[in-house]
Amino acid sequence: MNILGISAYHHDSAAALIQNGKVISCAQEERFTHIKHDASFPKNAIQHCLNEGKISLEDINIVVFYDKPLLTFHRLLETYLLSSHRGISSFIKSISTWIKEKYFLKKILKQELANIGKNNFTQQILFTQHHQSHAAAAFFPSPFTDAAVLCLDGVSEWATTSLWVGKDNQLHHKWEIKFPNSLGLLYSAFTHFCGFTVNSGEYKLMGLAPYGEPKYADLILKHLIHVKDNGKYRLNMRYFKLKHGVVETNKRFEKLFQRPPREPDSEITQQDMDIARSIQFVTEDIVMKLAKAIKQDYQIDNLCLAGGVALNCIANGSIWKEKLFKGLWVQPAAGDVGGALGAALSVWFEHLKNPRLPHSFEDVNFTKS
């Protein structure tokens, strides 16, 4: 049984091949095209996986895509209705590309796969939910038979933070926080505000944080995000605007910090460093509160992390140092690139109900750049 997982059309396209439950190859499209965060259909990554598996596309039994486009369409539609002052022409313009690429996704995937295989692609195509792909990418390769799985990212179909409990070959969804409330999008809003590229420069903001003081942490917690003791949170949307499905800062936000966003090529100031430290402080505070509440509520020994926010290794490290859990496993490809692997593993274990033997994924071939 050959299963091909695909993530694409948002950012960081990737492919993953598993054969009878064994991970054969995972590859990111940008490694072949040298286009950073390449979001296009990962034809090079797919071909690489097929080569590693010594098979052709005809040998693939199931293709699985890492999110459910119809649910994302509902979110984009509702988001538009919430900000309908921008007019119908703006809506048509912003959504037309999305409809072309995602709403007719099955047809597009078949066409793209047919181009690779030079033949009609008639095999089964499945879709997993985005956070299910993240959770599967975190839990199934982990050495744990039981674990809580916390997924944190910018946005998927609706979920931005979700909790799952993994047991043997199944993941059980427990709760989720929905868009526009998103820790990932809040961090990205600050990434933009400090002059870095969203969905790319978040690691720079994290790297800038140690040079500053958390002078604005109280301001952030008082005005921008309400955080409960259990870590669940709600953004104050008066300080943000929704644009093309993401959260951006607005004039009220700038007034709060008494400055405009930093120009990308301008000098980095001490205030930028203090802002970076402050949002890092808030992020760590939320992640730690979530982890403590999960431990208290589920009394489980192990925690797995995935989603783009789980690339924040400082926040992950703070959970580890707190010794809340006996085991902590973070999916190295925690962002959407790992969604291809998670989708494929989800089909093998959850959909096909194959038994799971932890430690059976030790010999993954990682693609060299």
* Interacting residues with Fe ion (CB under 5 A): 153, 336
Place of tokens 């459910």: 68
8 A C-beta contact, residue 67 and residue 129: yes
Residue 174 Cβ, how far from Fe ion at the closest point, in Å?
18
Nearer to Fe ion, 195 or 342 (CB): 342
Name which of 53, 49, 36 is nearest 5 in CA terms.
49
- As measured in angstroms, the least distance from the Cβ of 156 to Fe ion is 5
Q: How far is the CB of 35 from Fe ion (least distance, A)?
A: 19
Q: How far is the CB of 229 from Fe ion (least distance, A)?
A: 26
Q: How far is the CB of 129 from Fe ion (least distance, A)?
A: 11
Tell me how long the chain is. 369
Cβ closest to Fe ion, residue 113 vs residue 155: 155
Strand-strand pairing, 2-7 and 62-65: parallel
Cβ proximity of 156 and 307 under 8 Å: no
C-beta of 201 vs 339, nearer to Fe ion: 339
Nearest alpha carbon to residue 289 among 232, 352, 213, 363: 232
- With beta carbons less than 8 A apart as the criterion, state whether 129 and 351 touch: no
Q: Toward Fe ion, which CB reaches closer, 113 or 340?
A: 340
Give the residue with the Cβ less far from Fe ion, 159 or 347: 159
Distance of CA 110 to the CA centre of its chain: 25
**What residues contact residue 369 under an 8 Å CB cut-off, 6+ apart?**
31
Query: What crossing angle do the helices spanning 339-346 and 130-139 adopt, rounded to 10°?
Result: 80
| Under 8 Å between Cβ of 212 and 274 | yes
Nearer to Fe ion, 53 or 245 (CB): 245
Q: What are phi and psi of 214, to 5 degrees?
A: -80, 55
Minimum gap (Å) between residue 338 Cβ and Fe ion: 9
Residue 366 burial (CB count, 10 A): 11
Q: Shortest CA distance to 360 belongs to which of 53, 21, 24?
A: 21
CB of 215 vs Fe ion, minimal distance in Å: 31
What SS3 state is found at 39? coil
Q: In 10 A of CB 344, how many CB atoms?
A: 34
From residue 262, give the alpha-carbon distance in Å to each of 28, 136, 175, 208, 216.
31, 38, 36, 14, 16
Pick between residue 66 and residue 257 the one whose CB is nearest to Fe ion.
66
Minimum distance of Fe ion from residue 154's CB (angstroms): 7
CA–CA separation, 85 vs 97, rounded Å?
21
Looking at the Cβ atoms of 130 and 356, the one nearer to Fe ion is: 130
- Smallest distance from Fe ion to CB 336, Å: 5
Based on CB atoms, which residue is closest to Fe ion, 208 or 309? 309
* Closest-approach residue to Fe ion (CB): 153
